[in-house]
């Protein structure tokens, strides 16, 4: 296709061990989720709430496939915890600009790991009196779940491995990859 130019695994100089999901697979799955969202929210108001920074890719791609009217807002949260482990104690770094009272909120996430961050975020948003709060995520790691959390729209269930790409980083790198992959051990000192 004319003008198509995206970063590839080969550009990462051997940093990636394997590709878990290709850009094409993600695109096709998000199209299915968008169709489902169109159907289930038709005639209602819809506010997408993206969780910075990982959800940027999911928000951009999913929202462009949704045909019903919608609004977007963003939150940034940080989970207190050691390194890559989330603790469930969450701090809001950037709150919504929107009053969500009476609104249908759909939280847009990149990945659900332990579920602690999202479980906290959902109850925080529910306390603001919205009409509904649902969750959409590109990735979920079922084996890592520490709390049961109802996720309405899941792209892919993946193994409990650390993944990068499609918004997800290791030390802020790899977010721009259009696919999801695992890192080669030499990158994280393994
Ligand atoms: P919890 O455990 O609360 O955490 O569901 C969700 C957040 O943890 C980050 N996370 C990852 N980031 N590769 C990443 O780059 C991963 O495999 C991974 N697993 C969890 C991410 O910020 C997510 O929002
Ligand atoms: Mg995140």
Give, using CA atoms, the residue closest to atom 24 of ligand 1.
111
- Predicted confidence at residue 4, as pLDDT, reads 75
pLDDT in tens, 76-118: 998 876 566 666 789 999 999 999 999 999 999 999 999 999 9
Q: Is 20 in the pocket of ligand 1 (CB under 6 A)?
A: no
Backbone angles phi, psi at 39, to 5 degrees: -70, -45
Contacts of 179 (CB under 8 A, 6+ apart): 9, 19, 20, 21, 22, 23, 26, 165, 166
Other C-beta atoms lying within 10 Å of the C-beta of residue 119: 20
What ipTM does this complex have?
A: 0.90
Q: Where are the domains of the chain?
A: 23-79+86-158
Distance 112 CA to ligand 1 centre (A): 6
23-79+86-158 maps to CATH 3.40.47.10: no
- What is the DSSP secondary structure assignment for residue 160, as one 8-state letter? S
Bigger pLDDT: 5 or 101? Answer: 101
- Predicted confidence at residue 3, as pLDDT, reads 74
Bigger pLDDT: 8 or 83? Answer: 8
Catalytic residue IDs = 113
Using the atom order of ligand 1, give the atom closest to the CA of residue 115. Answer: 5
Q: How confident is the model at residue 120 (pLDDT cuts 50, 70, 90)?
A: very high
pLDDT reading at 144 higher than 90:
yes
């Amino acid at each position: 296709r004319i003008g198509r130019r995206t970063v590839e695994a080969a550009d990462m100089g051997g940093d990636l061990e394997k590709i878990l999901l290709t850009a094409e697979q993600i695109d096709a799955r998000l199209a299915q989720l968008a169709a489902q969202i169109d159907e289930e929210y038709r005639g209602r108001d819809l506010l997408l709430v993206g969780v910075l920074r990982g959800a940027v890719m999911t928000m951009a791609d999913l929202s462009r496939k949704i045909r019903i009217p919608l609004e977007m807002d963003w939150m940034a949260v940080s989970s207190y915890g050691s390194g890559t482990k989330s603790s469930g104690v969450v701090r809001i770094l950037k709150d919504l600009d929107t009053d969500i009272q009476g609104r249908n909120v759909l939280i847009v996430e990149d990945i659900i790991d332990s579920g602690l961050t999202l479980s906290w975020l959902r109850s925080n948003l529910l306390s603001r009196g919205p009409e509904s709060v649902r969750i959409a995520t590109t990735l979920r790691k079922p084996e890592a779940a520490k709390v049961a959390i109802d996720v309405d729209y899941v792209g892919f269930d993946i193994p409990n491995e650390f993944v990068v790409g499609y918004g997800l980083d290791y030390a802020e790198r790899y977010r721009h990859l259009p696919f999801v992959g695992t890192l080669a051990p030499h990158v994280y000192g393994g």
